[in-house]
Each structure stands twice: as C-alpha cells, then as structure tokens.
Amino acid sequence: MSAPKLTEATIRRLASDRSFSRGEEYYNSGAVSDLVRRGNSLQAQVEGSQYEPYNVAVELDAGGVAWASCTCPYEFGGYCKHIVAVLLTYIREPDRVIERRQASELLAGLRQDELLELLTRLLSEHPRLIDWIEMQLAARAAVPSPDAAAGPRQRHALIDPSSFRRQAQSVMTDSSRDYWAGNSVVDEMRKLADQARPFIEAGDGRNALLILEAITSTYIDYWTEFDDSDGDLSDFFEELGKLFAEAILSADLSPEERKEWVERLWAWQEELKDYGPDREFCVAVTAAEQGWDYPPLQRVMQGHIGERIWEEEVPPWYACGLTELRLDVLERQGKVNEYLNLARAEHQTVKYATMLVKLGRSREAMEYALEHLVVSDQALALAKFLREHNLPIDALRIAEYGLMLGGVKNNLARWLRDFAVEMGRTDLALEAARAAFADNTSLEDYLAVQAIAEEEWPAIKPELLELIAASRHHGSGKVDIYLHEGMIDEAIKEADRSYTSYIAVERVIDAVWQTHPDWVIQQCRRHAESIMDEGKSKYYHRAVHWLEKARRSYLASGRADEWSKYLEGLIAQHARKRALRSALEGLRR
C-alpha cells in the first residue's frame, strides 16, 4: 500500500513551535519504538517522563493527518511532542516502520465458523468486550434503516441502556488506568457518546437520550478520580451538553418530559459546580425549557425575522451553538422555510447561503453572502461548499471577497491560492499567496509566492523581505527564509532573540558551523551548560547533542586543544553526575 502524503511542513502546522522542537529532540534521542503501520493507521510507543512509555495513535489521510492521540497529559494546543516524534520517524526513517496487514485483510479469508470461533476465544480472554458487543448489537437493532429514516416519522422501540451503562462503568473503573489517565478515559467515553449520533440523525431522540443518560450519570460518578489539570475531563461535559440538546430537539417530548429533563440536567450541573464546571449543560437545559413551541422561536420560524428570540440584550454565550443545533434538526426534518427564517434571523449567514444553494438558488445565495459575511473563516466555509457543489466561479468570488474581511486569513488565503492555480487564475493565486504570507511568514508560504510570481518575483521579493523584517511573528519562519536566501547575518540576529525556538537555532548552527564558529560555539555552550548546571538529568542527552555541535566548530576552526580543555573542565565540574559524566567522556573520541 502506498504511503499517504505527509510532509514536515504539515507536521509543523499541526504543532506549536515548542512541541515541534521538543518532538524533534525526542526523535533524535531515539525515544520512538514499535512504530507499526496498518493501512492508514500508525501506532507507536514513545519514552517520556513516566516509567511506562506513552502510546501514540495516528490516522493518516490524503491531506496528511486525519487525527492523532497520545496517552500523555498534554493539552495546550496542537499535537504533543510525542506525536511529533512519531510523525518525524515515519517520514524520515521509513525503514523503521513495521508494515502489517489491516484487520479487514486478516479476517477476509476466514469462514463464518472460523470467525465465530476466533471471536469467542477473544471474548473469553477479554470479557470486558462482551459489553461492547452487546452495546453495538443494541444500537444496530434500534437504529432505523436509511430508507425508513427518510420516510414519515416512525415510532421507535426503546433500547435497553444497560449495556451502555456497563460499558461506561468498565471504562471508568478499569484498574489498569492510573490517576493520570484522564485523556484516555475521555477518548473512550467520547466513543461511547458517539453511539448516540446515529439515533439523533435518524430523528430518534428518545433512544439517544437513553444512551447519553447512561453514559453521563456514570461519568459524573467517577470523573473526579482522574487528574484534570489540563481540563480535558471537564471539557467533555460541554460536548455531552451539546449532544443532549440535539437529542432533546430531535425527540417529540411532552412538556412534562421536557421539565423532567430540565430538572435532571440542572441537578448534574449543580453537582459539578464544586469541581469547576458550572455551565456545561446550559445549552441542553435551554433546549428543554424552550423546546420548539417557545413563542418567540415560533414567531421567528414563521417569518417574523425582526422578532427577538432572546430576552437578554446580549444573548447567552451558547445562543449561536443552540441555533446551529436547531438548524441541523430542522434540515433533517425537511422544514426548509423554518430553517431559512431562523438562519436569517439569527445571522447564520453560511448556513442560510448553503441552504439556498441546496435549493438551487445559488444567485440569491451569492447576493446574500456578499452582503452579510463578516469574517474570513465564514468565507472559507462557504467557498469550500460552493466548490463541492460544482460552483467553482462562485467559490473563487466568495474566497476573494473573504480576503477583505476580518479575522485570521492564512487558511482562506492558502486555499484560494491553490484553487486559483488549479482554475488558471494566476493573478488571483498571486494575490492570495501574498495574503497567506503576510498572515504567516513561513518559508512554505514564501516559496509559494515565488513559484506563482515567476517573472514578477524580482520585484516582489524585496517587499516580502521587508515585511518579515518588520514582522512580530516568533516562529521559525524568519530564520528559514533568511537561510534559504543566504542572509546569514539576519538569520544569526534572529536566532539570538530569546523567543526563537531551539529548532530554529539549530538550523542556523547547522548552516554556519564552518563560517561562524565563534557564534556557534557560544550558542551551543550556552544551551548545553544551562541543562547541565540545572541538573536536568532527563535532558542530558540534549546537552551532549549541543556539545557535539560545538565540538564540530571547534575542530573545523583548528581549535582542538581549546575543545579538549573545555571538555575536561566539564567532566571535572560534573564528576558526581554519573550519567552525565559518562556521556561527556564519550565526547573525547
């Protein structure tokens, strides 16, 4: 099987500069082991700060990475250093990847009796899986077929939620998980909660509520037994709140039933208050309180666009999210007029325009969007939708208009750049490429401008270099561009800034170790000595890495004796640090 396309540039975009830098350190130290690929799935172990290695799972797709997870507690934006280390190993050392067949391939040739025997043996060795299978069978039996769901609303048999409750208890009470396993617990509980999604989409909100109630009540009983310093465990309540809201809106509940759900949701919310979460079920409570017969909502859906749904001068924080859930339910129910009226009244410009396109009213959609779009992300969402619906000219127009709107424009500009090239609109592609670079001064965006500009590049290049000189971006983009252009002094000046990442500094060092040995030696000694002097034993390998680079410049500049004297001084200074002393002695060779 051919490997999905994945580049280092993609990995950089998925992680913060610090996570990428640390991930490369882990990669260089050989922390990644047992890297296995099955189809588009990667699994590996990465040595970290705990005795047991962290488990990393990655799902690849045509665009690079579909999703990735790690059992470490990191939750600060982007992928963690362990995921970065695995991805770098995958692209830089493909020979280390162990190729194995996918489960579907392994089982494809077995007869039914052989599959049954294999499954029975698996369940006897892992009895916890029986609850999972029972839960899957219950869900399959209860969800109506696509044909049935598309027809008139039908009465659904209620499922037995006990299998879902047992599975949730199994996840939350698994003795193999320790106090720090919060992330993995949330991942497993999220998979369970996702079992309610097919019921919601089939209009069977009652069964979805049974599933969610079984999962949530169990989760509330046990979630405080795990570390939540990263907020992952408490954030999951907000996800549950949105699922409850959509399930309530999808169920034909009586006023009495809705009142019962309001009381139950508020009871959960009150129980959570002492631990921090204090508003996670608000959207579900409001969905139950208002239902579909709330008078202001009814008037708006009937076409009174000027009416206010919310009594407050400033709508509550969850108002936009609740409106989006209502629109999703209305669309599934085929209530087009109500959908359009609500979307327009609540300023849901993208949803309003996309529905018009689905109805064959693309010209009306364009006129409305060009008048009401506010930020570039809205324009990108609509442009992608128009392209998917075979309206490429309209997609280009909306995306071009989005460049003039507020918000971060890098994602929109990159998308428009590539699409405009595909459509033969070089002028528009160049405009978008420059906008992408202005928003994120990276080497990738810089080279994209150069490739599109062609003969115009000599005139454009000085403008871009002036732009990055004035930029306050603290990433490695400036260093990469300066090195690419051979502007060594500028690269060194940027590397000297305190906020420049280790990885950017190393790139400069690797570029100038022969021509600027004094600067390289000073940088390498500073980084290495900081680690050694502070006794950061788990980073000693990194200190040695810096010293190896210093040695290279010492020797290249004919200063072998000076290097030896410096090294012997370090060995004497850190003689009592056994692990470090041994590593330093290895540098004598």
Give the pLDDT confidence of 329-342 residue by residue, as tens digits: 999 999 999 999 99
Strand, coil or helix: what is 13? Answer: helix
Contact indicator for 83, 27 with CB cutoff of 8 Å: no
Determine how many CB atoms are found less than 10 A away from the CB of residue 372: 15
Look up residue 536 and give its two tokens. Answer: 């950061």
The stretch 39-62 carries a mean pLDDT of: 86
Distance CA 448, CA 439 (A): 14
Look up residue 129 and give its two tokens. Answer: 């899986």
| Of 99, 85, 75, 91, nearest in space to 27 by CA | 85
Contact indicator for 28, 545 with CB cutoff of 8 Å: yes
| pLDDT tens-digit readout, 59-115 | 988 768 888 989 887 766 789 999 999 999 999 999 999 999 988 888 888 899 888
Q: What is the pLDDT of residue 158?
A: 86
Q: Provide the pLDDT confidence category of residue 140 given band limits of 50, 70 and 90.
A: low
Q: Torsion angle of alpha carbons 410, 454, 485, 17, nearest 10°? A: 20
Q: What is the pLDDT of residue 122?
A: 86
The stretch 141-150 carries a mean pLDDT of: 52
Look up residue 511 and give its two tokens. Answer: 């570029």
- In this structure, the strands spanning 32-38 and 98-99 are parallel
On the question of pLDDT at 144 being above 80, the answer is no
Q: Provide the pLDDT confidence category of residue 145 given band limits of 50, 70 and 90.
A: low
Q: Provide the pLDDT confidence category of residue 2 given band limits of 50, 70 and 90.
A: low
Distance CA 265, CA 165 (A): 18
Where would I find the H helices in 389-516?
392-402, 410-422, 426-439, 443-453, 457-470, 477-484, 488-495, 502-512
Distance CA 551, CA 553 (A): 5
How many CA within 13 A on the CB side of residue 280? 24
DSSP β-bridge partners for residue 430: none
Determine how many CB atoms are found less than 10 A away from the CB of residue 449: 24
Q: Provide the pLDDT confidence category of residue 441 given band limits of 50, 70 and 90.
A: confident
Q: What is the pLDDT of residue 350?
A: 97
| Of 148, 227, 237, nearest in space to 189 by CA | 237
Helix (H) or strand (E) holding 56: strand 54-61
Chain mean pLDDT for the chain: 89
Q: What is the pLDDT of residue 524?
A: 95
Distance CA 73, CA 232 (A): 9
| pLDDT tens-digit readout, 416-427 | 999 999 899 999
| Of 346, 305, 352, nearest in space to 331 by CA | 352
| Of 26, 24, 5, 6, nearest in space to 476 by CA | 24
| 3-state percent breakdown (helix, strand, coil) of the chain, nearest 5 | 65, 5, 30
Find which of 68-77, 138-147, 541-550 is predicted with most confidence, using mean pLDDT.
541-550
Q: What are phi and psi of 40, to 5 degrees?
A: -95, 10
Where would I find the H helices in 274-335?
282-290, 295-301, 319-332
Find which of 119-128, 153-162, 196-205 is predicted with most confidence, using mean pLDDT.
196-205
State whether the Cα torsion 500-503-508-509 is positive or negative: positive
Q: Provide the pLDDT confidence category of residue 266 given band limits of 50, 70 and 90.
A: very high
Scanning the structure block, which residue is given the tokens 């060995």? 571
Distance CA 320, CA 141 (A): 34
Distance CA 62, CA 124 (A): 38
Give per-residue burial for 284-298: e unless 16+ CB within 10 Å, then b.
bbbbbebbbeeeebe
Q: What is the pLDDT of residue 50?
A: 67
What is the C-alpha radius of gyration for the chain, rounded to an integer number of angstroms?
A: 29
| pLDDT tens-digit readout, 357-404 | 999 999 999 999 999 999 999 999 999 999 999 999 999 999 999 999
- Cα 352 to chain centroid distance, Å, stands at 27
Distance CA 145, CA 148 (A): 5
Strands (E), 253-369: none
Largest Cα span, the chain: 88
Q: What is the pLDDT of residue 155?
A: 42
Q: Provide the pLDDT confidence category of residue 548 given band limits of 50, 70 and 90.
A: very high
Distance CA 503, CA 481 (A): 14
Distance CA 1, CA 38 (A): 9
Angstrom CA distances, 397 to 380, 384, 437, stand at 11, 12, 20
Contact indicator for 550, 528 with CB cutoff of 8 Å: yes
Distance CA 454, CA 81 (A): 37
Scanning the structure block, which residue is given the tokens 């929109």? 412
Distance CA 412, CA 439 (A): 10
Q: Higher confidence at residue 588 or residue 213?
A: 213
